[in-house]
């Protein structure tokens, strides 16, 4: 329970898409307990694009794993749409992930014995969607791979494989997408192309996106930057763009009074 002013992505009476409450992760290490993550409080709103930044080893992947319920916290809790992951069984967690969470990994994680199209169809078949093939084709088209659906991952370049992975991640239209350094294994130009596609899909599907990166170009596209150091959030800032200001905020009688319009949201 926190008493401070809610951060960006807010708790202002609306259930956040994703919430971390006093989140911590410790690991036993030579008879002691090693702190990997501590005191993480975050509320992430619907459709927000949050970049998680921080040096290698600062706990970014650990945080993402906890958000997905792939790992269990030592302290605190994660809530998705107000539902506590801590209270869920492994089966419930698997079901929740299938319905609500998409993933993109640094190393693509496509199934090698399945074609690109079959890889995209897989999550749809798991939820027994009746239009899996059509939806897979639409998504492959959206990532510029309409003519590569019959190819196996080893017949595709890294950038193409990651585009298939994007199509797969969006297949079930999950409200929440978690991406761990999705451009980390790609060269600069390819990485940028993949990133642009990711952001385009995120915007058109109004997906909440939490993306781990240490690439400043990636961060430049995010709505909000959360910086981790030594397992703690040291800065949480909203990126202001001129085009973001709602019409009523610009045409109002005086200066904006909403805390969200002005706050830098420094934490720690």
Give the residues lining the site for ligand ADP (CB under 6 A). 27, 36, 54, 56-62
Nearest distance in Å: CB 41, ligand ADP: 18
Q: Which is nearer to Mg ion, 43 or 58 (CB)?
A: 58
Pairing assessment for the beta strands 75-80 and 49-53 based on DSSP bridges: unpaired
Work out what residue 27 binds among ligand ADP, Mg ion, none; the CB cut-off runs from 5 to 8 Å by kind: ligand ADP
Count the residues in the chain. Answer: 268
Work out what residue 59 binds among Mg ion, ligand ADP, none; the CB cut-off runs from 5 to 8 Å by kind: ligand ADP
Q: Which is nearer to ligand ADP, 38 or 169 (CB)?
A: 38
Q: Which is nearer to ligand ADP, 39 or 137 (CB)?
A: 39
Q: Which is nearer to ligand ADP, 101 or 145 (CB)?
A: 101
* Per-residue interface string for the shown chain with Mg ion, residues 16-55, x marking contact by CB under 5 A: ----------------------------------------
Nearest distance in Å: CB 163, ligand ADP: 23
Cα radius of gyration (the chain):
19
Work out what residue 62 binds among Mg ion, ligand ADP, none; the CB cut-off runs from 5 to 8 Å by kind: ligand ADP
> Would you say 202 and 17 are in contact if contact means Cβ atoms under 8 Å apart?
no
Nearest distance in Å: CB 124, Mg ion: 28
How many residues bind Mg ion, per CB under 5 A?
1
> Would you say 218 and 249 are in contact if contact means Cβ atoms under 8 Å apart?
no
Q: What is the 3-state secondary structure (H, E, C) of the chain?
A: CCCCCCCCCCCCCCCCCEEEEEEEEEEEECCEEEEEEEEEEEEECCCCEEEEECCCCCCHHHHHHHHCCCCCCCEEEEEECCEEHHHCCHHHHHHHHHHHEEEECCCCCCCCCCCHHHHHHHHHHHCCCCCHHHHHHHHHHHCCCHHHCCCCHHHCCHHHHHHHHHHHHHCCCCCEEEEECCCCCCCHHHHHHHHHHHHHHHHHHCCEEEEECCCHHHHCCCCEEEEEECCEEEEEEECCCHHHCCHHHHHCCCCCCCHHHHCCCCCC
Nearest distance in Å: CB 55, ligand ADP: 7
Q: Which is nearer to ligand ADP, 105 or 170 (CB)?
A: 105
Nearest distance in Å: CB 71, Mg ion: 13
Work out what residue 54 binds among Mg ion, ligand ADP, none; the CB cut-off runs from 5 to 8 Å by kind: ligand ADP
Does the footprint of Mg ion cover residue 61 (CB under 5 A)? yes
Q: Which is nearer to ligand ADP, 81 or 230 (CB)?
A: 230
Q: Which is nearer to Mg ion, 61 or 115 (CB)?
A: 61
Give the interface with Mg ion as residue ranges (CB under 5 A).
61
């Amino acid at each position: 329970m926190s008493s401070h002013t809610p951060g960006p992505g807010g708790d202002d009476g609306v259930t956040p898409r994703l919430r971390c409450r006093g989140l911590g992760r410790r690991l036993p290490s030579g008879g002691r307990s090693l702190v990997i993550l501590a005191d993480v409080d975050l509320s992430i709103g619907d459709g927000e694009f949050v970049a998680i930044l921080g040096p290698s080893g600062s706990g970014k992947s650990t945080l993402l794993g906890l958000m997905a319920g792939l790992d269990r916290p030592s302290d605190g809790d994660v809530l998705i749409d107000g539902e506590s992951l801590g209270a869920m069984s492994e089966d419930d967690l698997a079901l929740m992930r299938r319905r609500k969470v998409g993933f993109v990994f640094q190393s693509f994680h496509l199934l090698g014995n399945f074609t690109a199209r079959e890889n995209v169809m897989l999550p749809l078949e798991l939820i027994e969607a009746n239009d899996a093939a059509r939806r897979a084709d639409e998504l492959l088209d959206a990532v510029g791979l309409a003519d590569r659906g019959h190819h196996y991952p080893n017949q595709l370049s890294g950038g193409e494989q990651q585009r298939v992975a994007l199509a797969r991640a969006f297949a079930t239209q999950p409200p929440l997408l978690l991406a761990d350094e999705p451009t980390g294994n790609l060269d600069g130009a390819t990485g940028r192309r993949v990133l642009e596609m990711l952001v385009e899909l995120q915007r058109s599907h109004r997906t909440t996106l939490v993306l781990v990166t240490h690439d400043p170009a990636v961060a430049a596209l995010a709505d909000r930057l959360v910086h981790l150091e030594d397992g703690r959030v040291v800065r949480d800032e909203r990126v202001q763009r001129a085009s973001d200001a709602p019409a009523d905020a610009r045409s109002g009688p005086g200066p904006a009074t909403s805390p969200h319009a002005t706050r830098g949201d420094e934490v720690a």
